Amino acid sequence: RLVAQTCRITSTDATLFAHMATCSGRDVKCWDERRSKIEAEEGWLDEHAQEMCGEAMAALLSSQHHRDMQKAVKRAVERGCRTSPAFLKACTNALVKHLKRGTEGLTVRTATALLWWSVTMLKYLDKEMAKAAIGMVIQGTDQLLNRVWTLTQGRGGPWKAAKGALANLLWTQPVMATELQDAMTKAFLPFVTSALVDHKLRTGKLPQELKDHVLNTYNTQVIGTARFTMPGVIQCFDTFVPQITQQDFAEVVFPSIMRMCKRSQETVMPAFLSFCKWTKLDISNYVEDVLPAILLQIRHKDEDQQRLGVDILCSLAAKIVDSEALANAMSSLIKLLGGKSKEGKIKNWVERLSIADAVGAVATAEVSWAGRVQIIEDTVGCLALFVKDEMHEEVLIHCYTSLGKWMYLLKHPYTETTVAALSKGLKEQRIAVRKQTLSCIVHSLLGEERFTVDAAIGEKAKALSSTSLGPEIQALVKQAVSKPNQYRSEGIAACLLLAISKSGDSTLSVPVDVVNQESGLVSEVSVQKLSLLEVNMLVYLVGWLMTVSFDEFAGQSTRLLSLLTLYPDCSIAHNALSVVHQFAGVPSFRLNFLRGLWEWSTRVQPPSVLVTHHEEQNYNINGKLLLRSVLAVIPRFTDTNQQILSANELSMAVVLVHLPSVQKHHARSWHVLVKTLHASLPTSIFPSPYVGDVASSLVTAVATLACLEGGRSPLNAVGGHALGNLLDAFGDDIWPSISVLVERLLNSAEHDALTMREVGVWSGHSSVLTESNSSGNLGEQVVGSSGRKGLDVLRPSIRDALTEKGIRSGNKQGKKDPRELALQAQRDEEERIKCHIDEIRDSLASGLAVTSLIAQAAPLPTFVHLDFFAELVHPLLSSSIVGDLALRCMRQLCSCVRPPVLANASFDTSLALKETCEHPVCKGDPSNQAEIAKSISMMATCCKDAGQLPSQTYCLMFPVLKYTLSSPVYSSLHESALLVLSSHTSAGLLIPRSQAVLLCYHVLQMMPTLTDKMLAVLTDLCEGIDESELDSALEGLLSEHARVRGAAIRALEYVPCLSGKFVQRSQHIACRLWLAMHDVEEKNAEMAERLWDLYPYGLGPEYGTLCFAVLAQFSRVWGLTICGLDVSSVHCCSDRGCKSPKINRIIISSCSALLTECGLNLVGTACSNS
């Protein structure tokens, strides 16, 4: 009802829509169950055939279904057609009923779905069961193929899929070829005919009976029809045309062509063009008969028909084997251009223009001109004579164009006749004619080939400079250099001719000021003011200038060449790339070229010629051309060329392929660059040449180009992606350089030095005028006070500012209102603080963004060095300045962890880490926090499945583990956390073992019920402690709880360096063990004595001072102060007071034993220290 009210459609349509929506709601599982039911229950489908058929067709034609859903429906339909004749009949009737409505309004999706349906019916229909239905389905298949071709114009995936469906049917069901052939005899089915011919040609030779039928159909329905034939129908016979023999053409096809040329020429010409393209016959004997019709087509009023006639003439010329026939055809064409042909006089200049284009098109057709020099010379001579008498500007321009194309085919084109014709064009007053004349001369030298340096071109240029045209060209060059804006296009062509001539004649010289960034002929301005033909000529000029004198012209020419390689017109860009390939082996050229690409690609307002798409203030350069330009300068390593890219060159190439414009056009541009670099290196190992200082230079260059250390910039993302991909490709070779850069970017020293007051000012929550946070008007306080007292109310920095403004002096400035001065000073101070914090935020934001992009581009190397990144990012999670950015970065880092279960929950993991950073110690029940509980549960699950987590993952998640176990409230999470902690105690693991030991002491202190479990974990942890981590284990000896001290003593017995008695002499270790040996708990003291025996060094008199200092430090921990050696002085309490009488007794006992052990030496030293 809602659909009917909104769209104002009938209730019937609304019901159908609701039915289709219901069908679209069925998932893949539902249709798989239908298919299983068809297999299991034999008679079920026969009873529900109509219902099943309707639902299946509605599901296929619905646009709401995804691909997996349609696959499930197709599997069910095929199974039903194979097992149930009733369902097959129902599906066939539904298809025929649908096809009777016509195919005009079908979309591509609907047409392809119905085509699959029809092909499936043909696959399972039996001839005896439904003979009439087969013919109707075949006709419908042809109509559907026609509809798909019309919508796709024979291109793209839908057309290939549609054409392949019928071909696959013929391949799997060879019997169906007979059915198709029978249907072809009853109706015109071009697409079915094409599929059948293709199938027969692939499997063998085309049968004569089928060939005769198709030839008759082609002759009557395509060539000999008076109605317009669709391009798709003509294309269906492209594979059959090569099978037509010379006799078939002479007896059947050619008579029909001539007959239709007299009756309806426009309808037969498209088919004749297709025939000329695909035939393999020699049609020299038929040119004289068909040429008048072609010439008439070329003179047509419609431009499309003219272009069709020119294409036919070019294709026909390529099929003429007899040179005499080709000469007669060209003679007729030239005579018609001159108005001397028997075909009739030319009525207007438009016809002459089209004929001139046809003459030039034949020169560039796929014709073998070897041994036909006389035809070329006659054509050139006739064109040269014609341009002398022609006065119309447009016709003259097109004639010079054709003349240049024909002159390029000659080895010696500059004869007396051609020089006279070209000289006439250079002296023309009309600018367009002069330009085209110069273009004609250029084309006669270079043709339409890509840039190349050839000796034959130099010889032609030398011959040109020796004619009368040489001085005229030099005069044009001088004129253009003096007035570049007025004669720019002519000057470029003239300079190009002069540069080419210089390669053949060293006495010639090109003015150096031709290349000038501001006003020269070769500049950025020239690209924006020239046509496509002239810009292409500019490409040749740049290439030849660097060829004749690289040192003089390489600087600015290379910069302009980098602009031309990004030109939107692909032909010009590819020609410019040809120039780049010529000089890619020169290191200075490579570096300058890449710098030019970087300049044009990162400009805020690039040249308008490069902008292909506007989006508000953004622009888009063709990324595909930019990628090709970068790859063009990478040298190929060979025996003769053993160059590789330097660090600066590689850094520019890496950053360029990561620009957004390149990524948009080619998402795998980095992989393309890596593949190219693999081919350019001398070894199969890619990173080998880029290690050490070279890697450091590479990383520094990338950071500089992407402005990574200059705060936020649009290029930061480019640099981050580039560094990530470099890390992924280079691995450990480049990691030291990247780690140094990341550590520099995430340096939080200035951030940590900020005070809460400054952060409050930045966030707008407090003021800087006074030390206090009072809300009173401090300007009034200044006014209400006088002298020194009034100024002392202010902060020192603001007071100094006011002093400079003259409050204390008696000048005029000092007589200003102190309230205004105070408020102004406050605003200045606040602005300074805000700017300073903004700089810090931008710097850290850039570093966090780069870190995130590195993790995104190189997840595996990031996981290997996860502890490094976590150590830098984790402290910033609690920042009120960059906390949100640090959370995003941490989320990206968490997505790199292993196993993938934890990576998929990166959002919850990052929130859990943020909570641990903001509150290092849990004071409540950790199970009430969803993120903490989920993280601990996943870690415990992974430990149960795999035994333990990777060390990198464990180090990252240890703060969450510590946060959970530090809670004084026992919860269900403690068991999971203890499971994770106990799973990571092996000696070989790289884990924060010192922090884990201290965590065990904390748990022992807070929860006595877990003593046995924690003692086992602590013992295992101490088995892997080395001497550098021994201090953390000794901290348990200072606990006020006897169970903690006892656990510490037991665990210390398993420390390898103590149990093996190879610990180095340490005053710190000796004093801690001496203290433990005098524990008030006898059991602890006895165990400590055994531990003391493991220590291989004794406690001599020289240790007295240190022992006393340790005792003093120990007593201060518990609120005591030892001022002397008197035992009673140990009881002197500090401001906090002593809270542990047992500790007092330990200290008294230790001091007494120490006095006894060390004697008077200790007394004197300690007294002097006191």
Separation in Å, CA 612 to CA 104, 328, 566, 615, 619: 36, 47, 11, 10, 8
- Please give, one letter per residue, the 3-state secondary structure of 388-425: HHCCCHHHHHHHHHHHHHHHHCCCCCCCHHHHHHHHHH
Instruction: State both tokens at 638.
Output: 């060979």
- Please give, one letter per residue, the 3-state secondary structure of 1074-1086: HHHCCCCCHHHHH
| Cα gap 801→790, rounded to integer Å | 14
Q: Letter for the amino acid at 116?
A: W
| pLDDT for residue 189 is more than 70 | yes
Q: Between 710 and 201, name the one with better pLDDT.
A: 201
Q: State mean pLDDT over 11-15.
A: 39
**% of the chain surpassing 70 pLDDT:** 79
Q: Between 321 and 1068, name the one with better pLDDT.
A: 321
pLDDT tens-digit map of 1011-1060? 888 888 888 888 888 877 888 888 888 888 888 888 888 888 888 877 66
The pLDDT confidence band at residue 1129, using thresholds 50, 70 and 90, is: very low
Q: Between 949 and 795, name the one with better pLDDT.
A: 949
| pLDDT for residue 773 is more than 50 | no
Instruction: State both tokens at 973.
Output: 């999470």
pLDDT tens-digit map of 517-531? 556 667 776 676 777
Q: State mean pLDDT over 436-462.
A: 83
pLDDT tens-digit map of 32-41? 777 776 766 6
What's the pLDDT score for residue 1167?
Answer: 41
Rounding to the nearest 10 degrees, give the CA dihedral for residues 33, 37, 38, 44: -130
Pair 926, 949: CB distance under 8 Å: no
DSSP secondary structure letters along 611-661: ---EETTEE---HHHHHHHHHHTSPPP-SS------HHHHHHHHHHTTSHH
Sign, CA torsion 122/127/133/135: positive
Min mean pLDDT across 154-163, 379-388, 556-565, 682-691 is at: 682-691
What's the pLDDT score for residue 616?
Answer: 36
The pLDDT confidence band at residue 352, using thresholds 50, 70 and 90, is: confident
Min mean pLDDT across 148-162, 240-254, 783-797, 1140-1154 is at: 783-797
pLDDT tens-digit map of 565-617? 888 888 888 888 998 988 888 888 888 898 888 888 887 665 665 654 444 33
| Cα gap 240→514, rounded to integer Å | 57
What's the pLDDT score for residue 10?
Answer: 38
Q: Between 928 and 888, name the one with better pLDDT.
A: 888
Min mean pLDDT across 182-191, 384-393, 687-696, 993-1002 is at: 687-696
pLDDT tens-digit map of 725-767? 888 887 788 888 889 889 988 888 888 888 888 888 888 766 5
Pair 593, 557: CB distance under 8 Å: no
| Cα gap 824→827, rounded to integer Å | 5
Instruction: State both tokens at 377.
Output: 């010379």
What's the pLDDT score for residue 1061?
Answer: 63
Q: State mean pLDDT over 238-249.
A: 90
What's the pLDDT score for residue 295?
Answer: 86
Separation in Å, CA 82 to CA 47, 68, 85, 629: 16, 21, 8, 56
Percent of residues in the chain assigned helix, strand, coil, to nearest 5:
70, 0, 30
The pLDDT confidence band at residue 447, using thresholds 50, 70 and 90, is: confident
pLDDT tens-digit map of 827-872? 888 888 888 888 898 889 888 999 999 998 888 999 999 989 989 9
Phi, psi of 522 (to 5 degrees): -95, 95
| pLDDT for residue 198 is more than 70 | yes
Min mean pLDDT across 65-79, 219-233, 728-742, 1045-1059 is at: 65-79
| Greatest Cα pair distance in the chain | 140
CB count within 10 Å of CB 365 equals 15
| Cα gap 1131→1137, rounded to integer Å | 10
Q: State mean pLDDT over 981-1000.
A: 87
CB count within 10 Å of CB 849 equals 21
The overall average pLDDT reported for the chain is 77
| pLDDT for residue 778 is more than 80 | no
| Cα gap 938→977, rounded to integer Å | 10
| pLDDT for residue 780 is more than 50 | no
What's the pLDDT score for residue 321?
Answer: 87
pLDDT tens-digit map of 275-284? 999 998 888 8
pTM to 2 decimals? 0.69
Pair 212, 175: CB distance under 8 Å: no
> Residue 1159, SS3?
coil
pLDDT tens-digit map of 607-661? 665 654 444 334 457 888 888 888 888 876 555 555 677 788 888 888 888 888 8
Pair 52, 45: CB distance under 8 Å: yes
Q: Between 492 and 318, name the one with better pLDDT.
A: 318
Range from 558-572, 680-694, 873-887 that averages highest in pLDDT? 873-887
| pLDDT for residue 64 is more than 70 | no
| pLDDT for residue 5 is more than 70 | no
Q: State mean pLDDT over 429-450.
A: 85
Q: State mean pLDDT over 186-203.
A: 88
| Cα gap 417→686, rounded to integer Å | 60
| pLDDT for residue 934 is more than 80 | yes
User: Which of 461, 670, 453 is CA-nearest to residue 578?
Assistant: 453
| pLDDT for residue 1159 is more than 60 | no
| Cα gap 777→769, rounded to integer Å | 10
| pLDDT for residue 340 is more than 70 | no
Helix (H) or strand (E) holding 869: helix 866-873
The pLDDT confidence band at residue 7, using thresholds 50, 70 and 90, is: very low
| pLDDT for residue 923 is more than 80 | no
Instruction: State both tokens at 240.
Output: 């059959």
| Cα gap 1137→374, rounded to integer Å | 120
What's the pLDDT score for residue 504?
Answer: 65
DSSP 8-state secondary structure symbol assigned to residue 1130? G
| Cα gap 514→479, rounded to integer Å | 11
Q: State mean pLDDT over 957-980.
A: 86
Min mean pLDDT across 115-119, 306-310, 649-653, 813-817 is at: 813-817
**% of the chain surpassing 90 pLDDT:** 2
| pLDDT for residue 229 is more than 80 | yes
What's the pLDDT score for residue 663?
Answer: 84
Pair 1143, 1040: CB distance under 8 Å: yes
| Cα gap 487→184, rounded to integer Å | 66
Instruction: Number of helices (H) and strands (E) in the chain: give both, helices first.
Output: 64, 2
What's the pLDDT score for residue 666?
Answer: 79
Q: State mean pLDDT over 560-565.
A: 86
Q: State mean pLDDT over 681-697.
A: 58
